[in-house]
Amino acid sequence: MTANSLPQVTRYADMFSAMGTEARLRIMQLLLKAHPAGLVVNEIQAELGIPGSTLSHHLDKLRNEGLVNVRRESTFLRYRANAEALQELLQFLYAECCTRNQAVKPQEIVHICS
């Protein structure tokens, strides 16, 4: 690992950390299922059954790490999974696990994803 790649690894670690709670993983699952349309806050809240202030905290954390995008629509905020950021994370994992280290064989990843 070079000194130039350390900031990128730190960024990936922060992204993984942001998804490191059950509630945030469930939010990501919902947003991915609703992709590309996304969901407004009350739809997420109705599905998860968590208080609005708690949901707001989780969504802010995911947004701050670039995992979700938000857009105002009239009086609502619509959240969408940031597919590009998630693809970047998957590429990082693939490179580290399957290309450089061979911990997981590339054909196993293809099998898992199909």
| pLDDT tens-digit readout, 63-96 | 999 999 999 999 999 999 999 999 999 888 888 7
Name which CATH class applies to 3-82. mainly alpha
pLDDT digits (tens, 9 = 90+) for 53-63: 999 999 999 99
**Residues 56, 72: Cα–Cα separation, whole Å:** 14
Strand pairing category for 39-40 and 68-73: unpaired
Eight-state DSSP code of residue 102: -
Query: Taking the CB of residue 52, how many other CB atoms lie within 10 A of it?
Result: 11
**Residues 40, 27: Cα–Cα separation, whole Å:** 12
